[in-house]
Structure 1
Amino acid sequence: MKKPPPRSPKADPLDVIDLDAMLSDEEKDVRAMVRRVATDLCGEHIAQWYEDGQVPARELAREFGKAGLLGMHLDGYGCAGMSAVDYGLASVELEAVDSGIRSLVSVQGSLAMGAIHMFGSEEHKQQWLPSMAAGEAIGCFGLTEPDHGSDPASMTTRARRDGDDWILTGRKLWITNGSIADVAVIWANTTDEPGGRGIRGFVLPTDTPGFAAHEIHHKLSLRASVTAELTLDRVRLPGDAVFPDVTGLKGPLSCLSEARYGILWGALGAARTCLEAARRYSIERTQFGRPLAGFQLTQAKLASMSTELQLGLLLALHLGRLKDSVGLRPEQVSVGKFNNITKAIEICRTSRTILGANGISGEFPIMRHANNLESVLTYEGTAEMHALVLGQALTGVPAFR
């Protein structure tokens, strides 16, 4: 029998169950590289970017491209072709800095690049993916509308034929990277066309006449992220701008599953940062003549948060191994997002209570992460929608309407 490696004599406060033992040396190297890149690029600046509501997204994209992080889980066309677990570990480290930073990478790689990689023609892939992988071109993903979020089948953005061309008209809202994008993946309804085939996806260069993007300001969450409203005023695209083979909701929902997979890992990075801040504070802060960490109620909070974080990471790793081996079903992704985001936001909120009034200060990362996770809780599918996806898997009965 192979002798097991010696155990560490002391628990790692952030890995009490030795989850690292389940990772390969290569996976640990990927995690360390992404942590270093994210910290070096953003660590000293992220609090100010959040406070200012401004982030140098284009510059960051180029640096992330140099590190091979954009579309890192895709094959070919300049992409790194890394595993789902590698991508998940990267998402944790990016979101440990800020959810907005992980969103920049996720929307670029999983939504915009992912859609082109899965559904685009060879011409689309050759034209856009290499420059997007390098961070030289930015992409966005236009699905959500002002009046249609959880019900994309009811979208009002329309695409109609005009000879060999397509004419697109409509609006999209809450679009990450929208106002800095060079290319937009736009989903539009073609049902009204003779022989219309429902929802179709289009590759739209953002310098096309009739396209406009307006950055959304005054956000109280995801402030270190570019968010925009897109308007399409009779935008004319050539016939080959459409994704050739995918129709219906399969296209956008497949892309969302890819993004949700990164999110179910990433949110745990925000939770880890908050837990570590609370743990350190509890040791350093003295009340009633003893450290906060010496009170049973504080230890109970820390124990609960640590347990939920580690259980979430175990779930994420299990789903990552499944994705790398046999693939994931939509309800499995929903389990991950439903559990891990709700637990992550609870960890952030509880961490805030340990810091008391200091928990709302920008000198500490907790309130920033908690505010960000309020958005993560609802984007790429609200907790309620994922509960219904799981409910249908459990009962066979859809309850969305």
Structure 2
Amino acid sequence: MFFDKVLLNYAAAMGIKKNLKDNEFSDLNTIFGAGYIFMMPFTSYFFQRFPLSKILGTFIFLWGIVLACHSACKTYASLMVVRVLLGMFESSSAAGCIAISGMYYTKSEQSKRIGFWCIQAGTGYIVGGLVSFGFQHYHGTKFESWQIMFLVVGLVTIAFGALTFALLPDNTTNAWFLSQEEKVEVIEHIRDNQTGLENKAFKWEQIRELFFEDKLTWLMLLFTGCSQISTGAIGSFSVTITGTFGFDSYDTALLQIPIGVLVIIIIFITTQMLAYWGQYTLITTSMFIPSVIGCIVLISLPLSHKVGNLLALYLVYSGSCPITNIYIWNSWNTSGYSKRIFRNAATLIVYNVCTIVAPQMFRESSAPRYIPAKIALLVTQCVCIPLQLYIGYLSKKENEKRDKEQEGKEPERYEFLDLTDIQNRNFRYMY
């Protein structure tokens, strides 16, 4: 998913921009997020009402077709159409993975598992850099290198979509790789999550609670927005920004590989720390310190300092990696199947608002240094630190309140009644 989404980023160094003018490349990155946001509520509804594996497999198959169709597009209008469709179909990916993780694993285990699949964002950078570098050596007359790249990668995605449709189980109870006894063991294993199992009954009262009664919802969405402006910016413009430091297109492609390695290291270390120690607030807050330093350096250094600017750009990626922690927070701190599905949906909508807004910060009028965009990155990364600390404080106070409510009382057992985290007073927030 990540590789497919950012393939346009690599195509920027392979000649696709010669068919575009002014801010049209920024618009192509923006319109992907618009398609994602439009489709996300429908995708969440489909996951609620229909078999998860069939929806996810179908959407992957369809976005593979759309990705392959990029190879036939040379005009701005045709590229806008396929970018909208790609955003619509990719809206299934992260929400589907989060839902699957919650079906099989305890909260601490989910940290590791969500970390494992989020690490593949780093793998996407590594593979993308190598694939882009390789296809740049194609010099045919009928097709350009970026067209062949889109076609090949699209066909691979189509094949994977078919495998997902055929092999991925919908939930624990129909997992083909588990015996009946093992299914019971898994259900008992996740009992302490207090988050329940998959429930196809759509509950409007849980959606109302999420947006109008849960005091953490809007704070977490604001935190998501501030933190992921960096993802929307560097995810779309890392190749372009690296090129402004004076590297050629071949070097620019290869210099994306260290980004992938860095993302893998950061996500792996932080998710393992969350799994073993918890301490969500402190671990997540610390991830913004390198990013703030990187933004300051990018603003201060002239472009002639190639190595210094490149290292600063790498530091900024630390501030984009907390999206993994946000997925984990949603899984840890949300009970009630409808509420959890739509909290994930709201998070992904905000994430994609960032992918709409952030590319528009990079205007041709401010090239090649893009100082206004870099200042906006610095401000949003700084805001994340006190905001995350405040969310942790509110979670801690709520736990203390519930501890006092239940002093001297025998806690009731209703783990699988599909109650929300507010209704279930046994529930405790991780912070």
The TM-score, its normalising length taken from structure 1, stands at 0.31
The TM-score, its normalising length taken from structure 2, stands at 0.29
Kindly indicate which of the two structures has a greater share of residues assigned to strand.
1
Kindly indicate which of the two structures has a greater share of residues assigned to helix.
2
